[in-house]
Amino acid sequence: MVRTIVLALVMGTSVAATQDVRRPFTLQDLTVPVGDLPGACALSPAASARISGNTVRGGLWAGLPISTNPWAGSDPPVIASIRELIDPPLLPDGPPLTTRESARYRFRLADGIDEAYAAI
């Protein structure tokens, strides 16, 4: 079975030409209604699933620190995580970064992004 992970990152919002102008566009509008999904396609309802006994399969939300699937929000750590999955950043040359420097460098991935969206 083939599984597809779709992550969308929106740098800004705009109104689509075909959208109903009576309400503003939101990132939740990116979620395809369940009835419109192909037969074996569905959003993963949880980040992990119990297979049997003590066996748990994790990583169903691609390791993102999100609380719901789909997720939309403006939390910088989550936005940075989404950016890292889409386009892993190159680390700077030189000596290894301290924990503080690494966090500061990572959170720069969220700079200029007001809101992000992820659906798995």
Pairing outcome for strands 71-73 and 55-57: unpaired
Distance CA 23, CA 111 (A): 27
Q: What is the pLDDT of residues 62-115, one digit of tens each?
A: 889 999 999 999 999 999 999 999 888 887 788 888 999 988 888 899 999 999
Mean pLDDT over 30-51 rounds to 86
Enumerate residues 6+ apart whose C-beta is below 8 A from 4: 41
Mean pLDDT over 36-51 rounds to 87
Contacts 24+ apart (CB under 8 A), 55-60: 60/120
pLDDT of residue 4: 36
pLDDT of residue 79: 94
Domain spans, the chain: 6-119
Strand positions, DSSP E, 11-64: 49-52, 55-57
pLDDT of residue 20: 54
pTM over 0.75: no
